Structure 1
Amino acid sequence: MKRLLAMTVVAGSLVASAALSGESKSLVTVVTTAEPQTQLMAMVLTMQAAKQGATPHVLLCGPAGDIALKSAPDTVTAGQPPMDVSPQKLMMGILKQPGAKIEVCALYLPGKAANADVLLDGIGVAKPGEMAGALLAADARLSF
């Protein structure tokens, strides 16, 4: 619950900041939890920020990397109330936003003894140096 509240505050401040300044910002969302409701809320907030002008960059690590799998577990593909949307479905909607980037962390696939063929189309593998640059970018807002 604390994580959800923190994500809400961060996304809210991004939206308010972008709306006030009229500037496009980058929102870097890092999702690590296996909890589907928290995963979905991270996607909801990221999508809302994208609709309000932010460029989304989502990094999926640990159990959250399962959202990016072609053969994903039911926990990430089952629709949730109140809109009957799954974390994976909303993530794919985010991917269609201008400039959007969704990646699994560099350790995810080796940890599963898998390669990028198991990932959905459009999902990449983060390069640590580039990801660090995205996190440090002057226009970036972070959401964990």
Structure 2
Amino acid sequence: MKKTLVALMLAFGAGSALADKPAITVVLSSPDTMTQGMAMVLANQMQAQGGQVDILLCDKAADLALKGAGGDALKPNNVTPAQLLDGAMQKGASASVCALYLPNSGKTAADLKEGVKPAKPDAMGLALMEQGRKVIGF
């Protein structure tokens, strides 16, 4: 009986507020360190406030997804955008590089940090159209 009641509640949305986190996609393509940093700070903040954050890195910003990515540390916390990306991923954010990045950068999937995947345009297109998903571009 309890299983049926739970199933009915979920089917009619009574439990959806508890089961679902707000879906947010952060699209980052800027080569600018401060813009990258702000995007990653906000991604971490949205995640800390209950959002399920998915990060899509394109163009020069996708270099953040490379193993050993460095960069300039930003004040006041003296962290790089790459370190902020790592922190978001460690807390459950997904990260992917746009489908054009690897074939046009001379890099391969083996060059990416653990957990970063090449995006699949069909799956990414569907995700971006999900009802209720917020898409934020930097």
TM-score by length of 1: 0.78
Larger Rg belongs to:
2
In the alignment, structure 1 segments of 5+ residues that lack a partner are 1-20
Query: Does residue 134 in structure 1 map to residue 131 in structure 2?
Result: no
Deviations 1:7-49 (A, max 9, x none): xxxxxxxxxxxxxx77621110000011000000000001100
The alpha-carbon deviation at position 78 of structure 1 amounts to 2.6
Q: Distance in 1 between matches of 2:68 and 2:105?
A: 13
Query: Does residue 29 in structure 1 map to residue 23 in structure 2?
Result: no
Q: Distance in 1 between matches of 2:125 and 2:76?
A: 35
Q: Distance in 1 between matches of 2:81 and 2:106?
A: 24
In the alignment, structure 2 segments of 5+ residues that lack a partner are 1-16
* Matched length: 120
Q: 2:86 maps to which residue? A: 92
> In structure 2, do the counterparts of structure 1 residues 117 and 59 end up closer, same or farther at CA, with 3 Å as the change threshold?
same
Query: Does residue 44 in structure 1 map to residue 38 in structure 2?
Result: no
Deviations 1:99-143 (A, max 9, x none): x21000000000012210111111110000111111111131011
Kindly report the root-mean-square deviation, in angstroms, between the aligned alpha carbons of the 2 structures. Answer: 1.5
Deviations 1:51-98 (A, max 9, x none): 0110010000001011011143x4xx3311011011000101111223
Matches within 5 A, 1:1-144: 24-72=21-69, 74=70, 77-98=71-92, 100-144=93-137
Q: Distance in 1 between matches of 2:110 and 2:132?
A: 32
Aligned-partner SS, 1:132: helix
TM-score by length of 2: 0.82
Q: Distance in 1 between matches of 2:39 and 2:54?
A: 12
Q: Distance in 2 between matches of 1:61 and 1:123?
A: 13
4+ runs of 1 displaced by more than 6 Å? none
Give me the identity figure in percent: 35
CA contact (8 A) 1:58 1:101 kept: yes
Could you tell me which amino acid in structure 2 is paired with residue 34 of structure 1?
P
CA contact (8 A) 1:102 1:122 kept: yes
